[in-house]
């Protein structure tokens, strides 16, 4: 399977769809209607309230919507990796890894605010990587990065930590220009401007709907053996992929080194988000899926040990199936 996705073929898009359906078919068997949590923002709470009212009698709608979002995120992230030459040769490993990674924790297959912001942040990551090739980043480009990051915080308050990723991208990808930093901050506050107007004219003005409550707390120790094994299978390929990326950095152009630095910082910021969200649920951990998938793909791409690759992949694949249907 790894050898198939290591090639870039039009048939791989269809194979990826079948691959995703096999791994995530359990969400169609046991559909779940999501509920809001206090970390969810005013915007997401209203989106979920509307969807729940419209489809409360059809819970499988949320399973279908979740699957479509995950598959679209995997496909888009794969296109970004190929377009930005994250790997020397085009392949489907990032998409495969994203489907695999998001199947390791059962709650990552539930419809949630962090799942929605992953769609936003995949696009933000792409816009960040393209800044390096621009002789002068347009105001619109920098503004859009800020606006999308601000939108993410309106969907999920702890995502405000992605401000750090935006500043890091400007610092690494661009020479310092005060104008660009100011435009990014204006873009970040723009979604809040429209939210203020909406709240004011609908008589729902309340600072609690706007100002996020930021509290740091260590995540709870996993109470389930399945979660513990899933975390191990998440970390081990990441470490292997990180080793191979580090070993091949000298062979990469500076732009591609910066892309990997951006992915690593993305992961660090995502961990900060986990610390901000002080609940004992694991839905919010999905914000780490994009950088984890990139490093997992690196492990599969760079390793020449076919036995190691197949054992690592099929061990993860079988574990996911067993957890979904027997765990």
Give residue 65's pLDDT. 94
Mean pLDDT of the chain: 86
First-to-final CA distance of the chain: 24
Integer Cα distance of 231 and 222 in angstroms? 9
- Confidence check: pLDDT of 136 > 70: no
Q: Provide DSSP, 111-137.
A: --HHHHHHHHHHHHHHHHHHGGG-SS-
Integer Cα distance of 142 and 26 in angstroms? 40
Give residue 139's pLDDT. 62
- Give the Cβ contact number of residue 133 at 10 Å: 10
Nearest residue to 160 (alpha-carbon basis) of 140, 180, 188: 188
Residue at token pair 């559909």: 31
- Confidence check: pLDDT of 198 > 90: no
Q: Which residues, in sequence order, are bridge partners of residue 40? A: 156
Question: For the whole model, what pTM was predicted?
Answer: 0.91
Contact 132, 45 (CB under 8 A): no
274 versus 80: which is more confidently predicted? 80
- Confidence check: pLDDT of 202 > 80: no
Integer Cα distance of 214 and 119 in angstroms? 23
Give residue 217's pLDDT. 66
Give residue 208's pLDDT. 62
Nearest residue to 173 (alpha-carbon basis) of 117, 122, 126, 238: 126
226 versus 166: which is more confidently predicted? 166
Give residue 158's pLDDT. 86
Give residue 138's pLDDT. 62
Share of the chain above pLDDT 70, in %: 89
b/e sequence 53-68, b meaning 16+ C-beta within 10 Å: eeeeeeeebbbeebbe
Least confident among 111-120, 168-177, 190-199: 190-199
Integer Cα distance of 55 and 51 in angstroms? 6
- Confidence check: pLDDT of 206 > 70: no
Distance of alpha carbon 105 from the chain centroid:
14
Share of the chain above pLDDT 90, in %: 45
Integer Cα distance of 155 and 112 in angstroms? 10
Distance of alpha carbon 160 from the chain centroid:
15
Q: How confident is the model at residue 232 (pLDDT cuts 50, 70, 90)?
A: very high
Helices marked H in 176-253: 178-201, 225-248
Nearest 5°: phi and psi at 34?
-70, 160
Residue-wise pLDDT for 24-54, tens only, equals 998 898 888 887 776 667 788 888 888 888 8
Nearest residue to 100 (alpha-carbon basis) of 22, 158, 168: 22
Residue-wise pLDDT for 172-181, tens only, equals 988 888 888 9
Give residue 262's pLDDT. 94
Q: How confident is the model at residue 216 (pLDDT cuts 50, 70, 90)?
A: low
Give residue 214's pLDDT. 64
Contact 133, 255 (CB under 8 A): yes
Residue-wise pLDDT for 267-325, tens only, equals 999 998 888 866 667 888 899 999 999 999 999 999 888 888 888 899 999 999 988 87
Q: How confident is the model at residue 219 (pLDDT cuts 50, 70, 90)?
A: low
């Amino acid at each position: 399977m790894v050898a198939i996705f290591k090639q870039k073929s039009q048939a791989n898009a269809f194979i990826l769809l079948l691959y995703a359906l096999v791994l995530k078919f359990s969400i169609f068997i046991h559909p779940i209607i999501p509920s809001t949590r206090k970390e969810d923002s005013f915007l997401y709470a209203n989106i979920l309230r509307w969807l729940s009212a419209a489809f409360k009698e059809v819970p499988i709608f949320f399973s279908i919507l979740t699957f479509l979002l995950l598959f679209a995120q995997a496909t888009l992230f794969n296109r970004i990796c190929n377009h930005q030459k994250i790997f020397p040769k085009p392949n489907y490993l990032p998409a495969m890894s994203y489907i695999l990674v998001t199947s390791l924790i059962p709650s990552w297959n539930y419809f949630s605010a962090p799942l929605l912001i992953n769609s936003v942040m995949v696009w933000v990551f792409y816009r960040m990587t393209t800044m390096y090739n621009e002789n002068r980043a347009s105001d619109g480009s920098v503004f859009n990065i800020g606006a999308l990051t601000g939108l993410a915080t309106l969907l999920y308050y702890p995502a405000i930590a992605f401000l750090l990723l935006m500043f890091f991208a400007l610092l690494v990808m661009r020479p310092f220009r005060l104008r660009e930093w100011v435009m990014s901050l204006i873009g970040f506050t723009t979604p809040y401007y429209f939210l203020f107007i909406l709240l004011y004219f609908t008589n729902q003005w309340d600072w609690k709907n706007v100002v996020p409550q930021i509290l740091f707390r260590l995540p709870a120790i996993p109470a389930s053996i399945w979660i513990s094994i899933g975390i191990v299978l998440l970390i081990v390929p990441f470490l292997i992929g990180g080793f191979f990326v580090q070993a091949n950095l000298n062979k990469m152009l500076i732009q591609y080194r910066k892309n990997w630095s951006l992915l690593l910082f993305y992961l660090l910021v995502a961990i900060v988000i986990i610390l901000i969200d002080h609940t004992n649920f694991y839905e919010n951990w999905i914000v780490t899926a994009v950088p984890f998938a990139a490093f997992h793909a690196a492990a599969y791409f760079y390793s020449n040990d076919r036995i190691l690759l197949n054992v690592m992949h099929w061990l993860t694949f079988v574990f996911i199936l067993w957890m979904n249907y027997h765990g």
